Chains A and B, each alone.
Chain A
Amino acid sequence: MWALSLLWYGDRMSASYTPKPVDELQGMLTTVGLTEPFWQLT
């Protein structure tokens, strides 16, 4: 979850932050190994 926190929230303080598209967020979950149906965003 620490790795996911860095991916998901690492740029949250940036002035240029905008919400990420769902496929990018899904990619983060996949990157840290969360691929089961429970972790599907859509």
Chain B
Amino acid sequence: MNDLLALRTAIYEHFATTGRAPSRSWLAGEVGDITAADTALHRLHELHMVVLGDDGEIDMALPFSSTPTDHLVTGDGCSWWANCSWDALAVVAALDVDARIESTWVDTGETVHLSVTDGRLEAPDGLIHFAVPARHWWDDIRET
């Protein structure tokens, strides 16, 4: 388990420093070979520590998205895609950085701009809609 958690940490650090998910081939370098990387990734997926795509690559390491979304976080000289509005706040919370958030409403196309400075969310009034009850979040995390 310690090796698995170490790999999880490496994945999160890669997201934090590059704004992108590490590839399977990069992870193979970390654990020895591609088979070991795939085994570890699938175990992390089972434990809900990452979400894999059909290609076996990392789609998500919550709150980070590996692909562009409507939720962009920028700070500390980097930018990150979040999976949803809450994940955009969560990226800032996880990284503990001053940051700007741009989240675009799917239904209207309106972009909401938020800032976090010294751990404080500026203009904290707003609304986030959760469509899925909490007990069902992991039924299909991509849709949640």
The complex places the Cα of A1 from the Cα of B103 at a distance, in Å, of 14
Summed over the interface, the residue pairs from A and B with CB atoms below 8 Å come to a total of 64
Interface size on A, residues (CB 8 A): 23
Contact B47 A19, beta carbon cutoff 8 Å: yes
Within 8 A of B (CB), among A8-27: 8-10, 12-19
Q: Is B8 an interface residue (CB 8 A)?
A: yes
Contact B13 A1, beta carbon cutoff 8 Å: no
Task: Report the interface size class on chain B.
Answer: 20 to 34
Q: Which residues of A contact B93 (CB under 8 A)?
A: 2, 5-6, 8-10, 12
What residue of chain A has the Cβ atom nearest to residue B92's Cβ? A5
Query: Main SS of chain B's interface residues?
Result: helix
Contact B134 A29, beta carbon cutoff 8 Å: yes
Given A1-B89, A12-B63, A42-B135, 15 new contacts (CB under 8 A):
A1-B86, A5-B92, A6-B93, A9-B93, A9-B94, A10-B96, A12-B90, A12-B94, A13-B16, A15-B6, A15-B9, A19-B48, A19-B49, A38-B134, A40-B135
Task: Write the residues of chain B forming the contact surface with A, with a CB cutoff of 8 angstroms.
Answer: 5-6, 8-9, 12-13, 16, 47-49, 62-63, 85-86, 89-96, 116, 119, 121, 124, 128, 130, 133-135
